[in-house]
Amino acid sequence: MEKIDSALLERLQSLSMLTISPEQKEKTIEELNRFLEFVDILNELDLSSLEATFSPIETSAPLRKDEPHLDPTIPQKILQHAPKSVDNFFIVPKIIE
């Protein structure tokens, strides 16, 4: 098992765009290493006799027909809650010059 050290933690911070305070770094390294130890224990399980599945339940969810709901009052109902609207569109402040 590869251990997490300060260099790897720095790389993980960079990749995840997170900042860990210097006071928390040692504790974070310990917690991540404990997590990796747990995963190593799981890797020792013999799962060769089990078939790969996404769910332990053998049935699937019932599907509904994919039909559009054509109710012309829906846009008006939604736009009632908008502070400003014109011709079935929301009016929002300009954010890009």
Tell me whether strands 89-90 and 85-86 are parallel, antiparallel or unpaired. Answer: antiparallel
Tell me the whole-structure pTM to 2 decimals: 0.48
CATH number of 6-43: 1.10.20
- Mean pLDDT across the chain: 88
Separation of alpha carbons 33 and 63, rounded Å: 43
- The CA-atom distances, in angstroms, between 76 and each of 80, 81, 89 are 6, 9, 10
Separation of alpha carbons 31 and 24, rounded Å: 11
- The token pair at 33 is 């290493």
- Per-residue pLDDT tens for 10-31? 999 999 999 999 999 999 999 9
**Sequence ranges of the domains in the chain:** 6-43
Residue with tokens 């089990």: 50
